[in-house]
Structure 1
Amino acid sequence: MVSKQNTLPILNNILFEAKKSGLSLSATNLEIGVQTKIGAKVEKEGKITIPARIISNFSNNLPAGENISLELSGQSLKIKSGTVKAVIKGLLADDFPLIPKKKTEPLFNIGSLELKIVISRALTSVAYNEARQELTGVNIILDQGYLFFASTDSFRLTENKLALNKINVNKENYEIFAKKNNNLIIPSATLTEISRLISGDIDAPVKITIEDGQIFFELESIIIVSQLINGKYPEYQHIMPKEYKTRIVGEKNLFQSAVKMASVFASGKTGEITLKIDAEAKKILVSSMSQDTGENSTELNFDITGPSQEVVLNSKYLLEGINTISTSKLALLANSEATPLALREINEQTGEVLNDYTYIVMPIKN
């Protein structure tokens, strides 16, 4: 995590700091800071900042299995690994910005693999228009029974809720903090960095601490600190229907393929496709039409309860929602052509519609 702007050249650098306890590396763009520690035999303490691009490209090409020797020489870092040597010019470490350190204990721990899924879902509907900065982040609500992660760009909305009894919570600190401030906004860029750091197959606890307008994530030897977005997130829960008149359950892959094909023939910038839900025939027709490309329709035999419906949706938004569903079957929930359509997962064993994750997409009103 280094700055992409050149207003402060040192922000393009990584801080190398050798202490008796080992070697620590730090980087920041003034909004997000990253620190990690590496086991090393330190003969002499010292620190310097080195351009991230150069050290990254150089280290990626070093021979595997060789020890690396680092030596500070004035404003340069001498590196030796096997038969490879390099001298990289750096900048004085005294000018490197201080990265905040947490003062309190973590509020809760979340398994890294579960957090990666939650982040992936939340980032799907984050807004990238900075005119409303609060929508560029992910809203976290610290509730008594659940931890909510939500995001919206006004066209679609995701909500993921984690039961507190299923994660490791510091109950006393959590309750004290939640009474003061239970509604926070984390920048999407921060969560993107967290997701990148999480390995795809190793589950480890991520310790999360919140204090003084900042949030800290600890994953093994890595600490990420980020500023929180200062603002009020929209009261999104009032647009989420409490009940749905029509429920459609079917194979995710079949519905996904039908929407993909319909999107090819969808017209206009909104990529309009139509879902015609026939409750009596237990069929759903996914169709689209364009004067330029032609037309397409796919008929699916799904389990349908409730009245027939017809709704027009943005194919891109609907498809991105389908992609976040991790179960083999999904549920479509609808009330009318003018109200939001919801996607939810299905319990593979019981067939129950799960409500811990909801993806909402707004209809296109013709």
Structure 2
Amino acid sequence: MKWRAFLLLGGAHFITDFYLNFVPALLPVMVRRLDISLALAGLVVAGSQITANFLQPIFGYIFDSRPSLRWLTLSLAVSGCFMCASGSVSSYFLFLLFPMIAGVGNGMFHPVGSTLTYHLDPDNRGTLMSLFASIGALGFALGPAVAAFFLARWDARTLFILLIPAVLIIFGLKRIELPSVSRKSVVTEGKRWPTISRVMGLLIAVMALRAWGHMAFGNYLVFYLEASGYTYQTAANILTWFLILGALGGVAGGKISDIRGRKPVIGWTILVGAICAGLFLLTSGIKAIVFLMACGLLVHASQPVMVVLAQELMPGSIGLATGISMGFVWGLGSLGLLLSGVVADMWGLPASFWLAVLVLLLGAGLSLLLPVEKERRESQHERI
């Protein structure tokens, strides 16, 4: 029953992130249909990402206060219906509004789905959370390709066919027993909150720096590789493998952290990943690609580990902790990405990538200040 529940939660994560990333496939179609500028098109992307990321802590806090499985099914319905309808609208206002509402559904899902995953198996939280995160990353990666396939062969109304997986998952979720999250478990940390808030502040900084560095490579890699002589298709394929290896690294990092502890995995993977990123910039050919793949594998490995650490630091506010670590920090990383873009415009892409390397090294350095596993477990025992 535990694995059936996890597979359904993972499937729900896959499909809600799958819907959110329809926007890149919709943009070329809607720019021509609505005759809008690229700047206005970019605002659609920003709007959906802002609602999806920055609202997560709010939904997490609400779920901690009023836990209900209805949030899960509502989030799938909202994200799916509004994103699939986005390609059929006839005004820019609705094209801006619908993806933003779909982003609200996506932001609603992550704290709920992650909290339920957290409670499935206390002994393998790192492993399950890394799998949960990787399944969502896969859905996010496949979203544009599948949406583009439907849009290229038929019209935008056929996107509603893609609601079928969400309907099946909602039906499945209603037929199995999910872990209960009692409102009584929502506690206040009291006198320990100043200490916990300092650690959480540090962890947020590490997560945001990691997200910034990883996003810089992910968003500008194709441009860099094209400038280095690769064709567009080859560069896109390399980016795909960079992201796939990141998802695999997340699974491995979560499993290792269950055995060796959270802090060592966080610090070492970001540090060695940053070194590999630097070596990628200093080399060329096959060597450079090998270092790039190692960077993708390692830098993303710590992401699900830090999500679990945030949840363990705030056991009475799992939803809020998840909203911060799976949404808010990505929003902060996106803001840092703006600076990377400015650096790229002024001094070139290599300078922007070296900035990303420095950002990752700073994140690795700050991770040294995180409490070690023994201290964290003792503090948890004291709270119990």
Q: TM-score range by the shorter chain?
A: under 0.3
| TM-score, normalised relative to structure 1 | 0.24
Structure 1 or 2: larger helix share?
Answer: 2
Greater length-normalized contact order (CA 8 Å, ≥ 6 residues apart): 2
Structure 1 or 2: larger strand share?
Answer: 1
| TM-score, normalised relative to structure 2 | 0.23
Larger Rg: 1
